[in-house]
Chains A and B, each alone.
Chain A
Amino acid sequence: MWHITKREIYDNLNSLRFALTTVLLLALMVTNAVRHIREHPKRVQTYRDAVTESSARLTAHADGSLYKLAQYGPGNFYKKPSSLHFCANGGESILPDTIKVGDPPVFATDSENRVILQGVWSLSYPDANLQNKNVGPKVSQVDWAFIIGSILSLIALWFTFDAFSGERERGTLRLMLANSIPRHTVLIGKFFGALISISIPFALAALVNLLLISTASTVHLTTEAWGRLGIIFALALLYTSLFVALGLLVSARVQQSAVSLMILLLMWVTLVVFMPSTLASIASSFSPATSFDEFWKQRNPIEEDLWDKYDEWLWSSKVDDKTLRGKSAFFTENAEREERRHEERLRYRSSQVYRARAITSISPATLLQHLIEGFAGTGFERHLQFVENTQRYARQLREFVADTDRADPESPHILGVREGMSKKFITPESVPRFEDTLNLSRDFNTAAMELLLLTLFVLVLLSGAYLAFVRVEV
């Protein structure tokens, strides 16, 4: 078998297609690296500035009374740009990168515009950016996901379309099978031969790309990032083997290599180019959107209901326990409901996107896209992770406020109203800070299903190729 593999590799190394492939992949990878080096520092800088500002806001809120922290909460949250942004862009320009913490709502002011009734902070999730100012041409990003998903798969077909049909045309297949080699050995030899000869230019191009990126002083890759890159490289090989298997299958069934290439190309166009878009269009037609009017329509009765419930306490300026508790309950409930409504809206929309993603997953190209996005820490999955991180932190901060208040025996323990909370001073250093983190094991868990599907695709096609080749007449 090793002989066959070696022969295949030598055959391929000397061919025109090998040279062209190397040039093409190198050009793409260098483009990708140059663009990343040019743009990533800007992204990081914007993020840093935003985080510094947000952190300063938290410090300002925490410097002084606990009430101010409970009322104003933290600054806005920002999504940390992934250092593997060059692997998959993942619609980053469309997904929002902030979660806003609005100023506490003012419910009532007196005649001189002094606030007399003010609630507490809550999270709100911004909409996706519509990009309706962009009048440029529509192109896909040259990231690894594109290079692997579209180009590498095409190259895989390019290397395998004549694997059997070409040999049959030249008559060498008969010669080879005249030796006492079992057919599956031939198949596996061919499979690895093709896979390795595709991996060589790809690995070379990827190395040049990473070399450029890692030597640039402005971009920093951590050990974890290298681990993730390793996974992405393995994914690329898995995905390539899918198309190698497809190429072998068709090549074994078809008599002429030209016909084989044509069938393969048309299959490729359908699988990689059209299926994702067409399925996405179909999926989005199933997804009606709730308009903003409906959002308000849902909001108003709840709001009125709340006002009715707590009306008797809101307008009194007494500071007895009952009034304060009434106000506190109103504020917290109001913030909770506001937050929940925003969250429900986000969840409704995410579920639509999820469904659409599930439908488009029939195409292996989309599967790969999702997987690379998942491991590169970009894209939709990552956005939801960011949302989760913020929610966790918001809980943590609220607990911190409650705990600090509980620790003070003099406080009446009524959160959200000035008179009901601890008067002790707190220091900004003691307040927990937000950090947007990525979790590799979580990424693995979310990717498991898609990984399995992709592997299944490969296995099915490989066994198909085996069956086809075993039954072929030479």
Chain B
Amino acid sequence: MMLTLIRRELLDNLMTFRFAVAVFIMLFLVVANTAVLIKDYERRLAGHKTEVQKSRKYMLDGKTYSVGELNIDRPPNPLSIFNAGLDKRLGNEIWVYYGHVPTLWDAEKHSSQNPFMNILSSIDIVFIFEGVLSLLALIFAYDTLAGEYERGTLRLVLTHPVSRGYILVAKYISAMVCLLVPLLMSLILAMFLLTTSASFSLSMPDFLRIGGIIFASIAYLSVFYLIGMLISAMTRRTSTALMLSMFVWGFLVLVYPNMIVAVIQPSNPPEERRASVHNHIKQIWEEFERERKQFLATDRHLEGDPYGNMRWRGGYNFEHFQDKASVLQHYYYAGAEIDGFHEEPESQALHVQNYHRFLVPLIIDTAERTWRIREPVLEELFILPATIDRAWLRLSPTGIYDVATQALAGTDLQGMQDFFTAVQQHRQSVIDYYYDKNAFGSRQWFSADKETVDWRTLPQFIFQRSDISLNVQRALPDLFLLLTLNIVLFIGVFLIFVRREV
């Protein structure tokens, strides 16, 4: 019986005009946009590669440890074509300096694109699904029950000894099968396009992630189909059902997500708190500065000058405080690359070495201390408002779907933070390497006259995108939310339909 019902519904749906249109529009939009997105990704990847080469060259150019320019460039995430998330927006160039803990907020953007282009809107595959899949689901759903009621066939079907639940399940399954055809076809074509592009190297976990995204898409599709069914079960006429469905679609997809972010009071960044913390960080560095001055003053060989008043044969040095109040950035930055000294007594250089052996660990220590203050405040200033916004967005299935796919693609905030955590770890390993080499107390710290630094033995920065299980773990709450929504809606449809008079 069930099979007969499903077969009937399937045939009903497959032979319609709307099915043809659905397939066509999905294929058209997804394929056209995938081609554009692949191009965009290739450009970003090329930009990343030149940037990596450039920073490697800069690093090798540095002759002393203290001027070592260790820049790290964030590679674009290939899955960003499914959901761009924060991948394109956030900074992708970060500088690793032993005296400052690098965070997302310190990252800059390398200029691979005209920044004015950002006033134009951008797109990704999930965005297409958000708009079109939901619309198609509602178009398939609005007349499933109301239409049969209007035509009188519902009464006919119910005269047979079939339970109403069966009818609902049959309708649901067959419509979902029909809707899956355009979804899967477009995705297969998109994947085909991806594999033809040379720059995409998708690994097995990537395919699993894409699988996760497809699963989320199906759940999202089903939510909207059930919403459509709910409306169809409640109304007696198809035209009313259609009208209501479109209204609900417009509201959930278009109006609510944009409106809610505008409505909720943008929790004013506590300016005073930011200023006070910034001052606190500054004070810590001032304390450091006093200590440094004191050390210089007590060593009578140096007479207050970090380089012991030796006369140079070329080279340069610098010393200042870097400050950026908006992201609570404040640190001491100093370095030197001295080509050689005139008639220098060996003991004087030893004093300079001694000074650096004292200074650099102090810088690292102070950086750690300020980091402990800075971290929670950054969280409060930047992450908290974004989290609140996202929480409100979850009231619409579109918001849930967006967050879930972002987490799966690894372009969500946590995925981005993974990279910066890796950079922080890299900084730690660079510091360890310096300790191992006794770099701070060495002559190569500031002078290139005897020996230059061999940067090739420096630990390499390796970044692996987070493990698939971690991605799934992050997406799980939202996927669960989507599935729960499905179940609740289905129960709702069932209850209404069972109690309905035919």
Contact = CB atoms under 8 A, between A and B. Distances in A.
B243 interface: yes
Given A28-B255, A349-B116, A270 B25 contact: yes
B258 A146 contact: yes
A284 interface: yes
B113 A289 contact: yes
A16 interface: yes
A406 B296 CA distance: 57
A128 interface: yes
A135 B86 contact: yes
B389 A289 contact: no
A388 to B, nearest CB: 16
Q: Name the residue among B89, B119, B389 with the largest chain A CB count within 10 angstroms.
A: B119
Q: Which 5 pairs between the two chains have the least Cβ-Cβ distance? A: A91-B119, A280-B120, A277-B123, A128-B115, A136-B386
Given A32-B262, A257-B242, 13 more contacts: A31-B263, A94-B115, A127-B115, A131-B118, A135-B416, A137-B402, A150-B254, A154-B250, A265-B135, A266-B25, A276-B120, A276-B121, A356-B120
B402 A128 contact: no
Interface of A: 16-17, 20, 24, 27-28, 31-32, 34-35, 90-91, 94-95, 127-142, 146, 150-151, 154, 158, 162, 166, 257-259, 261-263, 265-266, 269-270, 273-274, 276-278, 280-285, 287, 289, 291-292, 349-350, 352-353, 356-357, 360, 379-380
A27 B255 CA distance: 10
B413 A285 contact: no
A129 B32 CA distance: 30
B239 interface: yes
Contacts of A129: 115
A259 B143 CA distance: 12
Interface residues of B, number: 74
Interface of B: prevailing SS:
helix
B407 to A, nearest CB: 13
23 contacts: A94-B118, A94-B119, A129-B115, A130-B109, A132-B89, A133-B327, A135-B382, A135-B383, A137-B257, A137-B386, A142-B259, A151-B250, A154-B254, A278-B33, A278-B123, A280-B117, A281-B40, A283-B120, A284-B114, A289-B114, A291-B110, A291-B112, A360-B120
Interface in B379-402: 382-383, 385-386, 389-390, 393, 399, 402
Nearest to B383: A135
Contacts of A139: 257-258, 261-262
Contacts of A263: 21
Contacts of A357: 120
Interface of B: 17-18, 21, 25, 29, 32-33, 36-37, 39-40, 43, 86, 89-91, 104-105, 107-123, 127-128, 131-132, 135, 139, 142-143, 238-240, 242-244, 246-247, 250-251, 254-255, 257-259, 261-263, 326-327, 382-383, 385-386, 389-390, 393, 399, 402, 413, 416
Contacts of B255: 24, 27-28, 151
A203 B239 CA distance: 27
A353 B119 contact: yes
A141 B29 CA distance: 24
A35 B243 contact: no
A133 B108 CA distance: 9
A39 to B, nearest CB: 8
Q: Name the residue among A146, A273, A292 with the largest chain B CB count within 10 angstroms.
A: A273
B117 A35 contact: no
A140 B127 CA distance: 13
Contacts of B263: 31, 34-35
A367 B460 CA distance: 50
A277 B37 CA distance: 11
A368 B311 CA distance: 68
B112 A265 contact: no
B33 A287 contact: no
B118 A130 contact: yes
B439 to A, nearest CB: 29
A151 B40 CA distance: 30
Nearest to B412: A135
A135 B90 contact: yes
B119 A282 contact: no
A129 B91 CA distance: 12
Contacts of B107: 132
Contact of A281 (B36, B90, B142): B36
A136 B118 contact: no
Given A16-B243, A132-B90, A140 B118 contact: no
A31 to B, nearest CB: 5
Contacts of A17: 243, 247
Contact of B382 (A31, A34, A133, A380): A133
Given A17-B243, A258-B238, A142 B262 contact: yes
Nearest to B251: A24
Contacts of B121: 140, 276-277, 280
B239 to A, nearest CB: 7
A280 B107 CA distance: 26
Contacts of B251: 24
Given A24-B251, A277-B122, A285 B261 contact: no
A351 to B, nearest CB: 10
A316 B215 CA distance: 77
A265 B132 CA distance: 10
A16 B257 contact: no
A266 B262 contact: no
A257 B86 CA distance: 41
Contacts of B120: 276-277, 280, 283-284, 353, 356-357, 360
A283 B132 CA distance: 23
Given A20-B247, A151-B254, A137 B118 contact: no
Nearest to A20: B247
B243 to A, nearest CB: 6
Nearest to B385: A136
Contacts of B238: 258
Contacts of A265: 135, 139, 246
Contacts of A131: 89, 118
A282 B261 contact: no
A155 B389 CA distance: 27
Nearest to B406: A137
Nearest to B105: A133
B269 to A, nearest CB: 11
Contacts of B86: 135
B419 to A, nearest CB: 13
Contacts of A292: 111
A395 B240 CA distance: 65
B389 A282 contact: no
B243 A137 contact: no
A139 B393 CA distance: 10
Nearest to B33: A278
Contacts of B239: 162, 166, 257
A261 B115 contact: no
A349 B117 CA distance: 8
B123 A281 contact: yes
Nearest to B84: A138
B122 to A, nearest CB: 6
Nearest to B29: A274
A170 to B, nearest CB: 10
A128 B109 CA distance: 12
Contacts of B18: 259, 262
A274 B36 CA distance: 12
A67 to B, nearest CB: 31
Given A135-B90, A273-B131, A277-B122, A353 B116 contact: yes
A89 B18 CA distance: 37
Given A31-B263, A91-B118, A274-B123, A262 B39 contact: no
A389 B251 CA distance: 42
Contacts of B21: 262-263, 266
Contact of A140 (B17, B32, B258): B258
Contacts of B131: 269, 273-274
A366 B127 CA distance: 18
